[in-house]
Structure 1
C-alpha cells in the first residue's frame, strides 16, 4: 500500500495539467456578467489581465527577495542576473496594458458596476512590492482589516529591510563607506534622499565600473516602475475619463499623484554631479 500511495503521488505531477493545476487555474475566471442573461464579452479579458498581473507581482516579490539575499551574500553575478530578470518582467507588465487598452470605454462600462467596491488599490501584493522597494507608509493598512492575511503580509513587509537598505549595506561591505546614520536608519521609514549616500555614489560611479552596472539596473527598475504608473494612468483616463474610480477612489486623479516619485531618489539626484 505504501508503494501504491507513493506511485499515485508521483503520477499526480507527471502530466502538464497536473503539475500546473490547470483545472484549478482555469476555474478561477468567474464572470459576474451573464448571471441575468446580460453577458459582457470583455469581462473575461479584464479578469485574466488582472489575475496575470497578480501572478507577476508574486514572481517579482520572489525575485526581489532573492536579489536582497544575493546582496547579503555578496553574489554579484547572480545579483545582476536577477535584476535583469526583474526588469524583463516589468517590461512585460507594461506591455500588458496594450492588451487592456483594446477594451473600449463602452465595453468596460457595460460591466464596471459589477465590480462594486473592488479596486486595484486593494492589491496587497502591489503594496508589498512598494514596501520591498522602500516606499513605506502606514496609511495603506487601513484598506486591510486587522488580523486579515493581507494585513499580516503587509505588516511583515513593513518591518523588513527594503531592497535599498540591503543595497546600502552591500555597498558598505564592498568598501564604499556609507554614513552610519544611513546604514542604521529605521527600516520602517520611507527612503529619503541623503547627501552622504549621494557623495558615496558619486565616488562609486567614478571608481567602480562593476558596481555602476548594478546602480544602473536599479535606475532601470525605478524608471520602469514609473513608466508602468504613467501607462496605468493613461489607460484609466482613456477608459473612464475623469470618472471616480471604484472602491471610493478618485480614479485617474488619484493615480496621477503617484507619478514622478522615484523609489531610489539618491540615484537620480547624483546625475547632476557626475
Structure 2
C-alpha cells in the first residue's frame, strides 16, 4: 500500500466535518444542490440524454448570471459609474467564457447518438429559452415576434416584455458616452428602443474618436471590453451552429424552426456593429 492510499484511509479527525446536520446541510440550504440535482429527468434510456440535459441546464444558469451582470452594468452606465459598469462587464466576460466551454459534453454527438433521444423533447427547442431572449434583448436584438411567442406564460412574458421595452446595454453605453462629451447622434439617442439596433455611421465616428485618442483612455478600454463580449457571444452562436451541424446536419429543427439555417443567420448578425466597423478605419 502506497503513502497516498494510506492518507486516504486515515479517519477524519476534524469534529466540524463529522458533526451531524440538523436537517439539510448549510451548504445545501444555500446552494440548493439537492434541488438542482433533482432536475435531470431523462425520458429515454439513451446514454447521451443525461449529458444533453445537464449541458442545457448549465447554460440556462450561465444565461441567468450574464443577464444579471448586464443589467447591473446598464444601471451603472445610467449613473455614469464607469467603474461599476466595467466591473460587471468583466464578470460577464468570465461567465461568457464559461458558457462557451459548456458545449464540450455534447459537442461531438453523432446523428445516431442524438437521434437516440431527440424525439423525447418533442416541440422543445433552444430558441424558446426566455433567459437567452433576455440576453439578446439586452444586446439590442429586439423582436416583437419572439416576445409574442411567450404569451402563454404570463410571468415569463411580463418579465421579458419589460426587457423588451427597456433600453439595451448598448443604448446605455452610448448615452453614457454622449454625457461624457462624445457626439452620439440625437436620432440614435432618441430612437425607438423596441426596434432592433442597427449600425449607425455617427456611432462609428464616436468610436473612431475613441480609438484614435490616447492609448490608455478608459473609453478605449471600454470599447475593447465590449468587443470581447461581442466576440464571445458570436463564438457561442457559431459553436451552437457547429454542434447542430454535427448532430443533425441541415434537417429542420424541432418546433418548426429552420434549424441550422436559422442558427447560422443569427450567428452572422454582428453584436455592437460599430466596434467592428471602426477597426477598418483606424
Cα distance, 1:201 vs. partner? 1.8
Q: Could you tell me which residue of structure 2 aligns to residue 190 of structure 1?
A: 196
Alignment equivalent of 1:25, drawn from 36, 42, 45: 36
Alignment equivalent of 1:166, drawn from 168, 172, 175: 172
CA–CA distance in structure 2, aligned partners of residues 130 and 85 of structure 1: 18
Q: 1:120-159, aligned counterparts within 5 Å?
A: 120-146=126-152, 148-159=154-165
Q: Could you tell me which residue of structure 1 aligns to residue 60 of structure 2?
A: 54
Contact 2:138–2:168 under 8 Å retained in 1? yes
Query: Which segment is superposed worse, 101-110 or 254-263?
Result: 101-110
Contact 2:110–2:247 under 8 Å retained in 1? yes
CA–CA distance in structure 2, aligned partners of residues 94 and 241 of structure 1: 21
1:118 aligns with 2:124: yes
CA–CA distance in structure 2, aligned partners of residues 46 and 267 of structure 1: 35
Q: Could you tell me which residue of structure 2 aligns to residue 7 of structure 1?
A: none
Alignment equivalent of 1:266, drawn from 256, 274, 280: 274
TM-score of the superposition, structure 2-length normalised? 0.86
Cα distance, 1:143 vs. partner? 2.3
- CA deviations over 1:63-116 (Å, ceiling 9, x no partner): 000111121222222322222211111111111112212433322211111111
How many residues are aligned here?
A: 259
SS in structure 1 at match of 2:254: coil
CA–CA distance in structure 1, aligned partners of residues 248 and 108 of structure 2: 14
CA–CA distance in structure 2, aligned partners of residues 222 and 100 of structure 1: 24
Q: 1:51-90, aligned counterparts within 5 Å?
A: 51-90=57-96
Cα distance, 1:212 vs. partner? 0.5
1:45 aligns with 2:56: no
Structure 2's unaligned 5+ residue stretches are 1-21
- CA deviations over 1:114-168 (Å, ceiling 9, x no partner): 1111111110111111001100121213422356222212211110000111001
TM-score of the superposition, structure 1-length normalised? 0.89
- Computing the radius of gyration from Cα coordinates, the structure with the larger value is 2
CA–CA distance in structure 1, aligned partners of residues 43 and 208 of structure 2: 54
Cα distance, 1:175 vs. partner? 1.5
